[in-house]
């Protein structure tokens, strides 16, 4: 009989191996069809020149493809299919237990992953075929936010109507019943975390940060005896580690929208499923800080006569503008991410006592 621990780590290993095998094939086609951004961003949301950003980003010079997120969700989906087919074609106590697809634990995050990965893939493709120079190339921000809103609405409705979930646990305070307000609360969280997806801006940064966050929720799901959900999280971690192998400097490809949109939305679903959304702002602090820095910058420039708080937003680009080399930014983000994740896990676990 396969133990719960083995059920979590065997699919993760399969996902990692799948990613390592898939990466050269994906890389070949991304370079063959020149699927990278052809122009740097020259205008910000407010219409101003992005002089510092242009100096930091030079994707079109490096010719580094987008769509690297395909490796992450592709490896995860292949792994889920492999495990499912093995359990059905070769049924035994071991193979049946290894299957982690379940209605109450993995259907909803899998739905979020697939739908948003598809939307992000469309955006990435349009960006690689766009000769424009504005930040709005590809799908407009409004269209992407609408997609995230609709996914959040569908997921929150499933939680509320099908899984009968309408409360959240707050560490040390217990359950807080939200009733129908659970749905808008869920939507706000998903849009907020999605905004942090712009963290995919430095080689190795997003892969390491997302690996830490999903590992954290695997721990929390395991502590709740949600073994299927923990296995799902670790499958994504395995795929992310394979992605990270090819994303560390110099990156072979970037996570881009098909990866960041899929991972941010799925992370929120996992947080609600594991009843640990209260610590999501802690565990996902790098995403919160990234989104927050951009918002602060925009508001400061609007209401303070063009004055900026940061040299450039988002935050990781600010550190680059200060002279930090990219690898220093990446590795310090990994450290910060790990420390906040550990803090979030501790608060969640102790808060349940």
Mean pLDDT, residues 26-43 taken together:
82
Structure confidence at residue 258 (pLDDT): 96
Closest CA to 109 of 212, 235, 7: 235
Least confident piece of the model among 22-26, 32-36, 49-53, 220-224: 49-53
Could you tell me which of 101, 70, 71 has the C-alpha nearest to residue 88? 101
When pLDDT is averaged across residues 159-167 and rounded to a whole number, the result is 91
Averaged pLDDT, 265-289? 96
| Range in 260-269, 321-330, 332-341 the model is least confident about | 321-330
Q: How far apart are CA 82 and CA 255, in angstroms?
A: 24
Q: Which range is most confident: 221-230, 247-256, 291-300, 321-330? A: 221-230
- DSSP conformational letter for 251: P
**Tokens of residue 300, six digits:** 């400061």
For residue 44, is it left (φ>0), alpha (ψ between -120 and 50) or beta? beta
Q: Can you tell me the distance from the alpha carbon of 286 to that of 333, in angstroms, rounded to the nearest whole number?
A: 7
Q: pTM score, two decimals?
A: 0.92
Q: Which pLDDT score is estimated for 200?
A: 85
In the chain, the N- to C-terminal Cα span, in Å, equals 31
Three-state DSSP string of 130-173: CCCCECCCCCCHHHHHHHHHHHHHHHHHHHHHHCCCCEEEECCC
Instruction: Supply the pLDDT for residue 62.
Output: 59
| Closest C-alpha to 68, from 254, 264, 262, 238 | 254
| 293 in Cβ contact with 310 (< 8 Å) | yes
pLDDT interval class at 95 (50, 70, 90): confident
Percent of the chain's residues with pLDDT above 70:
91
Distance CA 313, CA 292 (A): 9
* pLDDT band of 39, cuts 50, 70, 90: low
How does pLDDT run across 169-202, given as a tens digit for each residue? 999 889 999 999 999 999 999 999 999 999 987 8
Cβ 120 vs Cβ 259: under 8 Å: yes
- Secondary structure letter of residue 274 according to DSSP: T
Confidence check: pLDDT of 41 > 70: no
Q: Among 141, 55, 135, 119, which Cα is nearest to 257's? A: 119
Q: How far apart are CA 349 and CA 124, in angstroms?
A: 39
pLDDT digits (tens, 9 = 90+) for 250-264: 899 999 999 999 999
Confidence check: pLDDT of 312 > 60: yes
- Residue 45, pLDDT > 60, answer no
C-beta neighbour count of 181 within 10 angstroms: 10
pLDDT tens digits, 101-151: 998 999 999 999 999 999 999 999 999 886 554 444 789 999 999 999 999
The dihedrals phi and psi of 168, each to the nearest 5 degrees, come to -125, 150
Q: What share of the chain is helix, strand, coil (3-state, %, to 5)?
A: 70, 5, 25
| Lowest mean pLDDT segment, chosen from 6-15, 203-212, 234-243, 306-315 | 306-315
Q: What is the pLDDT of residue 50?
A: 53
In this prediction, residue 310 has a pLDDT band, given cuts at 50, 70 and 90, of: confident
User: What does the pLDDT read at residue 351?
Assistant: 85
Q: Decide if pLDDT at 60 tops 50.
A: no
Find the length of the chain: 353
């Amino acid at each position: 009989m396969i133990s719960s621990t083995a059920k979590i780590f065997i699919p993760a290993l399969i996902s990692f191996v799948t990613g390592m095998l898939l990466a050269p094939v994906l890389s070949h086609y991304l370079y063959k069809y020149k699927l990278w951004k052809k122009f740097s961003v020259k205008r910000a949301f407010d219409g101003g020149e992005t002089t510092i950003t242009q100096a930091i980003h030079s994707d079109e010079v490096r010719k580094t493809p987008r769509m690297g997120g395909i490796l992450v969700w592709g490896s995860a989906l292949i792994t889920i299919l492999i495990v499912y087919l093995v359990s059905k074609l070769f049924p035994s106590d071991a193979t049946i237990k290894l299957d982690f697809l379940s209605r109450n634990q993995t259907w909803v995050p899998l739905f979020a992953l697939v739908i948003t990965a598809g939307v992000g893939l469309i955006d990435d493709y349009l960006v690689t075929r766009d000769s424009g120079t504005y930040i709005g190339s590809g799908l407009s921000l409004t269209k992407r936010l609408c997609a995230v809103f609709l996914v959040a609405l569908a997921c929150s409705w499933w939680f509320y109507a099908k899984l009968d979930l309408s409360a959240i646990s707050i560490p040390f305070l217990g359950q807080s019943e939200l009733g129908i307000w659970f749905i808008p609360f869920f939507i706000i969280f998903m849009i907020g975390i999605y905004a942090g997806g712009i963290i995919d801006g430095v080689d190795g940064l997003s892969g390491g940060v997302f690996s830490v966050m999903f590992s954290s929720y695997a721990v929390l799901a395991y502590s709740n005896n949600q073994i299927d959900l923990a296995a799902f999280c670790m499958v994504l971690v395995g795929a992310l580690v394979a992605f990270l192998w090819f994303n560390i400097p110099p990156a072979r490809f970037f996570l881009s929208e098909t990866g960041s949109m899929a991972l941010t939305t799925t992370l929120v679903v996992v947080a609600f499923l594991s009843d640990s959304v209260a610590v999501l702002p802690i565990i996902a602090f790098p995403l919160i800080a990234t989104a927050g820095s951009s918002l602060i910058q925009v508001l400061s420039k609007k209401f303070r006569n063009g004055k900026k708080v940061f040299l450039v937003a988002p935050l990781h680009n600010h550190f680059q503008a200060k002279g930090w080399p990219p690898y220093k930014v990446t590795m310090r983000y990994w450290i910060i991410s790990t420390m906040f994740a550990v803090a979030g896990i501790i608060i969640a676990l102790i808060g349940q006592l």
